[in-house]
Amino acid sequence: MALLGSGLRFHFKAQSLADDSFDVLDFNFIESLSSPFEVKLTLLSRLDNLTPEAIVDQTGLMSWSQGESVERHVHGIVSQFSKGDSGHHHTQYNVTIVPALSRLKLRKNSRIFQQQNVLVIISTLLNEMGISDYAFSCDARFESEVREYCVQYSETDFEFISRLAAEVGLFYYFEHTQDVHTLIFCDSTSKLSGLKSPFPYNVLSGGVAENTFVNQFSYQHQIKPANISLKDYSFKKPQYSFLQSSKGQELKFQKPDYEHFDYPGRYKDDAAGVPITQVRQEYLRRDAQVATGQSNILQAIPGFKFDLIEHNDRALNRDWILTSIEHTGEQGAAAEEANTQKPTRYSNQFHAIPGNNPWQAEPNSKPLVTGPQIAIVVGPKNEEIFCDEFGRVKVQFPWDRYGESNEHSSCWVRVSQGWAGGQYGMMAVPRIGHEVIVSFLEGDPDQPIITGRAYHTTNVTPYILPNHKTRTVIKTQSHKAEGFNELRFEDEASREQIYVHGQKDMDMVINNIHREEIGYDQHLTVEHDKFELVKQHRHTTIGQDEIAQVGRDHQVLVGRNLIHRVVGMVKRYIGGGIITQIDGASQTSIAASEEKIIGANQQIKVDNESYLKASKIVLEAGDELTIKGPGGFIKIDSGGVTISGSKVKINEGGSPGTGTAPKAVKPEEPAKPSIPETADRR
């Protein structure tokens, strides 16, 4: 079946050539939703010297006219041009027309978009290619759904745009005029326009005909997934399931329990998860009900609705949405040496879905990052450490040509730590300039996570290798200052060592017992003061000598008793004096002799009784000896012995005075200190 009429003509116009430069011999034209159209034309021209420079990558226009009326324009760019054989008067050329959108297939890139919605990202790529004839027919939610981080990774611009549009539920089609073809992005089939004239059905037609109609139309139902469930995970809500489900419509022809489950769903909150799940469900069921047909209607265009009429099955006389069409046409009168009586013919084959059904584009597979990548930690100028409350950092990837190695180079990237619990674990924030190893969850370039760190020629190891290959080191650097903290383990045989360095303070808190066991010596040097507080008992055992030197004063305050036991001798040298105040009694027991040598004076004052007893007492004075009492005195000096008193009695009775003899009191034995516990070596 084809359309025949003396008034039917096909035309082609190249941008830089005259309108009558070509005659169309035949063409094949395929167009569908969410796919660039392609027109392959066979042309004849009296110009036999055309070169690709005159036509390739320039505007091309194919038009269909019926009599004086132009029925349709197909506007695009010439992507392919070839020269064929030449006859007596004409040369054959082959040309392919595609939309300007196809130019994006020629640009492959890797780049990062941040804090932008899909509409802005798509517009950016189109504008960069010089495409300004596009429009969006979609809900306001697309403007508010901002993507924190969106990566084009080793994709052509066309693949990236197609993937983004399909992910969020945007399909596209084209509208053509004589001067331009406009790319339309749409989020719902309910927003599609209808064609002016209905499509009549005429199954009895055959051969060629002058009028337009649909001569073949079949409608089929297919079993498809009835519903879809998606699940995802977010570290900000680790206990939340993020499970979303969407059930298809028109399930009366199949069981409703055919479920399609997938993980990850590629969303991080319910606001994004609901529409994404619905879009996936609508894609899986987009051809559950589909019609195929054949017609000679020139106005059949994907992305438009038509009303089918006059079908013998009344249920099919309704509105339909054209999803794809293949047009074919031939114009025999254009050939000179061929059969010039061959008529002009046109027909198309199409696919359609019911007018109230949704349709979604096939989602392109997201590119996978097949392994870890190297990146450099970045941040604001004049900063050394830049992180958020989760310890995430920003990075600059080597493949990102647009990043400026600052706080805007990437999203916040999570950092794997050696241990991560609820307010416990390990924490080491990568610093600006550090080289890190970045992995990607599920291979998704939109979900980077730092899983390692590495040295390079600028950031070298703390110690020269392999000279110090036996060392295991944790060494930090003071923030915006010169200095470091360090914990180092040396494993060289016979030189094993644990080294700790603190640039300033060291604080240690042990809630129970602190045990230390030292196999040989301990050396401690304190450059300033040392403070020690023992709230209960202190036990110290020294196996041999204790030697102490105090540069100035030695002050001791004992709250109760001071008990010393010295098995040998006590030897003291006091360069100044001794001042002793005893508020109670003083008792001294000396088992052997006591000797005192006083270089100057000795004064003793006893307020009550002084008692001295010995088997022999010798008082020897070099100058004078005086015994003085209440009634007189005895004085012995170089002049002799002087006895003076109110009355002097010699052998006249009386009795000697008595005194209280001292009692020997044995001091308490000092308590033995407890032996310290040994270190737990389990």
CA–CA distance, 42 with 24 (Å, rounded to integer): 6
Domain co-membership, 405 together with 451: yes
Domain co-membership, 467 together with 454: no
Name the residue range of residue 268's domain.
225-282
Considering its fold, how many domains does the chain have in total? 4
pLDDT of residue 4: 54
Residue 631 placed within a domain: no
pLDDT of residue 372: 98
- CATH code (residue 125): 3.55.50.10
pLDDT over 90 at 332, yes or no: no
Burial of 373 (0-12, 13-18, 19+ CB in 10 A): middle
Amino acid, single-letter form, for residue 363? P
Residue 524 placed within a domain: no
Mean per-residue pLDDT, 295-312: 96
**CA 574 to the chain's CA centroid:** 71
pLDDT band at 99 (very low <50, low <70, confident <90, very high): very high
| Tens-place pLDDT, residues 335-386 | 655 445 678 899 999 999 999 999 999 998 999 999 999 999 999 999 999 9
| Tens-place pLDDT, residues 631-640 | 898 999 998 9
Q: By 3-state DSSP, what share of the chain in percent is helix, strand and coil, each rounded to 5?
A: 10, 35, 60
pLDDT band at 662 (very low <50, low <70, confident <90, very high): confident
User: Length of the chain in residues, anyone?
Assistant: 682
Residue 424 placed within a domain: yes
Name the more confident of 619 and 656.
619
Domain co-membership, 138 together with 179: yes
Domain ends where: 449, 480, 507?
507
pLDDT band at 681 (very low <50, low <70, confident <90, very high): confident
Domain co-membership, 453 together with 496: no
- CATH code (residue 433): 2.40.50.230
Name the more confident of 577 and 446.
446
pLDDT over 80 at 87, yes or no: no
Q: Of 177-191, 456-470, 513-527, 587-601, where does mean pLDDT reach its minimum?
A: 587-601
pLDDT of residue 300: 96
| Tens-place pLDDT, residues 88-98 | 788 999 999 99
pLDDT of residue 209: 65
pLDDT of residue 5: 58
pLDDT of residue 210: 72
Residue 69 placed within a domain: no
pLDDT over 60 at 463, yes or no: yes
SS3 label, residue 324: strand
pLDDT of residue 119: 97
Domain ends where: 460, 491, 516?
460
Q: H or E element: which one contains 273?
A: helix 270-284
pLDDT band at 545 (very low <50, low <70, confident <90, very high): very high
Q: Indicate the angle between helix axes 157-168 and 270-284, nearest 10 degrees.
A: 100
Residue 493 placed within a domain: yes
Q: Is the peptide bond before 466 cis (omega within 30 degrees of 0)?
A: yes
Rounded to the nearest integer, the mean pLDDT of the chain is: 92
Domain co-membership, 425 together with 453: yes
pLDDT of residue 171: 98
Closest CA to 345 of 642, 666, 27, 592: 27
Burial of 190 (0-12, 13-18, 19+ CB in 10 A): exposed
pLDDT of residue 206: 61
pLDDT of residue 410: 96
Q: H or E element: which one contains 498?
A: strand 497-501
pLDDT of residue 128: 97
Domain co-membership, 423 together with 448: yes
Residue 489 placed within a domain: yes
Domain co-membership, 477 together with 429: no
pLDDT over 90 at 464, yes or no: yes
Residue 522 placed within a domain: no
Domain co-membership, 403 together with 467: no
pLDDT band at 621 (very low <50, low <70, confident <90, very high): confident
pLDDT band at 3 (very low <50, low <70, confident <90, very high): low
Domain co-membership, 375 together with 405: yes
pLDDT of residue 305: 98
Query: Is 90 in contact with 46 (CB distance < 8 Å)?
Result: yes
pLDDT of residue 440: 97
Residue 347 placed within a domain: no
Domain co-membership, 173 together with 112: yes
pLDDT of residue 275: 92
Domain ends where: 246, 263, 282?
282
pLDDT band at 86 (very low <50, low <70, confident <90, very high): confident
pLDDT of residue 429: 97
